[in-house]
Amino acid sequence: MNGEIKYCAFFDVLGYKDDIVLNKDINQVEKLRRLEAIFKAMSGTISGIVKSINNTLPNSLFIKSFSDSVYLESSNLNLLLFAFHNIFNNAIKYDYLFLLRAGIVVDWTEHFMDIASLINNPIDEVMRDENGNYNPEFYNVVGPGIARAYLTSENTGLKGMRIIISPEVLNSFNLIPYDEVAFECYYIDIKHPKTPLHKSDTTRLYFLPIYSSSLMLYEFCWTANFNKNLITELSNIEEITTKLETFCYKAEINKHYIETLKIVEKGLQINFTMPEHNLKEEAYATLKQRIQDKISQLSKGT
């Protein structure tokens, strides 16, 4: 075993600890209600996307979960980002709003047999074939890939629903400045293996630089239209904005909503610059103002 270089991603639910499980202002019944709503939504969103990709391209995405945390890895960055784009956009639309934050790095990992799987399952059930190859379902992942993905998500101190990317992930790509917007933005065009969730040959991905103390990071702009060949719909961002307008919590949680609204606004601006968009100028201006008003309102409570 020498370890294999993979794109590694860790994400979890923002506010899970302080806003739910350790929140002394709500009782156990309410905590369980919130947890059930979150995990039903996460299960429905993540399983559908990962299954669709792996059914077409077997074992393209490896997944493990524990508590409110999920780990994904792949040798294909585009597939990983495509999965995250769909997971984030779908998660934010559920009746009970919850926010996610992810970190993505590239580093080596190794898969060992999961201890609990060995204890809880007969060895002939966890073996995949006569050569002793284990079923990936019973793997446990180790290595700097999973550790650094966790740290990139959790230890950067960045607020909001973000997909934070360590710079070495993008080293093999030529980031092209996207000058159609007023903020610093880059893009790459990548050939995409076709899956049931994606019919186009080419995908345009947008990235925003993050300057945080001594760190230089990027974030994947998940609110920008993933497929430049599709007609951009106003309804998606409008739905997200409406959801965010209805949720106002204590100051610490509000910071997450403020930063999430900022990434929503940037995605809206990117979408509006696409030649294929069908956004009316008036509708675009109205929605942009709604987002800015909500940011202003929440900022007063922080």
Q: Which residue has the higher pLDDT, 79 or 149?
A: 149
Check residue 240 and give its pLDDT: 66
CA 135-140-142 angle, 5° bins: 135
Residue 147 has a CB neighbour count (10 Å cut-off) of 15
As to burial, measured by CB atoms within 10 angstroms (0-12 exposed, 13-18 middle, 19+ buried), residue 221 is buried
Residue 109 has pLDDT above 80, yes or no: yes
**Share of residues in the chain with pLDDT > 90 (%):** 29
Q: What is the pLDDT of residues 165-175, one digit of tens each?
A: 999 999 888 89
Check residue 198 and give its pLDDT: 60
Average pLDDT, the chain: 82
4-229: CATH number:
3.30.70.1230
Check residue 229 and give its pLDDT: 35
- Average pLDDT score over residue span 243-260: 66
- Average pLDDT score over residue span 111-125: 75
Which has the minimum average pLDDT: 3-12, 46-55, 140-149, 184-193?
184-193
Residue with tokens 């290595």: 143
Q: Which residue has the higher pLDDT, 280 or 95?
A: 280
As to burial, measured by CB atoms within 10 angstroms (0-12 exposed, 13-18 middle, 19+ buried), residue 157 is exposed
Q: Which residue has the higher pLDDT, 103 or 117?
A: 103
Check residue 230 and give its pLDDT: 35
**Share of residues in the chain with pLDDT > 70 (%):** 79
The most confident of 93-97, 145-149, 221-225, by mean pLDDT? 145-149
Cβ(178)–Cβ(187) below 8 Å: yes
Q: What is the pLDDT of residues 25-45, one digit of tens each?
A: 889 998 898 889 888 888 888
Measured CA to CA in angstroms, residue 176 lies from 188, 189, 206, 220 at distances of 6, 9, 9, 14
Name 276's Cβ contacts closer than 8 Å, sequence gap at least 6.
228, 229, 230, 231, 232
Q: Which two tokens stand for residue 272?
A: 């509006």
CA distance 100 to 128: 34
Model confidence at 178, pLDDT cuts 50, 70, 90, reads very high
Check residue 175 and give its pLDDT: 94
Give domain limits for the chain: 4-229
b/e per residue 258-296 (b: at least 16 CB within 10 A): bbbbbbbbbbbbbbbebeebebeeeebeebbebbeebbe
Model confidence at 124, pLDDT cuts 50, 70, 90, reads low
Q: What is the pLDDT of residues 190-242, one digit of tens each?
A: 876 666 656 667 778 899 999 876 678 999 999 887 544 333 345 556 666 66
